[in-house]
Amino acid sequence: MKPRVLVIDDDAVLRRLMTKLLGAGGYEPLTASGGEEGLKLLVPGSLPDAIVLDLSMPGMSGFEVLQRLRGDAATAQLPVLVLTGQAGSADHDRSLELGADLFMTKPFSSFELLDTIRVLLGSSRRAA
């Protein structure tokens, strides 16, 4: 069974690109256009294996999504990669403080993304 990766990002073009990259990389991609939609997809018994999360989204920010994920016992151990255009060290530090496992900035190469997701899944909190 392919590992399932949920991409939460408000950019429709990026979601389509991620769907193609993840599919070609051997993953089952799931997508959500925002934080609230992404959280609704997190159904116990059918959780993804990892989440790729943008920080800047209308409505619920990626920071708030991280807080909710880590505050819920059902999702507290899900591995999360923050993938953002915000390259500042404050965003990096805050993401890790709130529980992100890895942080990556846009733009990215397909190799870099797939390698990072492989590392993310290999070092997942659930495996610990």
- Residue 62 forms part of a structural domain: yes
Backbone angles phi, psi at 6, to 5 degrees: -95, 125
Q: Kindly list the distances between the CA atom of residue 28 and the CA atoms of 6, 14, 96, 122, in Å, as whole numbers in the listed order.
A: 9, 16, 25, 16
In this predicted structure, the answer to whether residue 128 has a pLDDT above a threshold of 90 is no
Task: Please count the residues of the chain.
Answer: 128
- Residue 114 forms part of a structural domain: yes
The CATH number of the domain holding residue 103 is: 3.40.50.2300
Please tell me the pTM assigned to this model: 0.93
Number of domains present in the structure of the chain: 1
Backbone angles phi, psi at 32, to 5 degrees: -145, 140
The neighbour count for residue 35, using CB atoms within 10 Å, is 24
In this predicted structure, the answer to whether residue 52 has a pLDDT above a threshold of 70 is yes
pLDDT at residue 126 in the model: 44
**123 band by pLDDT with thresholds 50, 70 and 90:** low
Q: Which residues contact 82 (CB under 8 A, 6 or more apart)?
A: 53, 54, 55, 62, 66, 95, 100, 102, 103, 104
For 56-68, give the secondary structure using H, E and C: CCCCCCHHHHHHH
- Residue 128 forms part of a structural domain: no
Percent of residues in the chain assigned helix, strand, coil, to nearest 5: 40, 20, 40
pLDDT at residue 125 in the model: 46
- Domain holding 44, by residue range, is 4-123
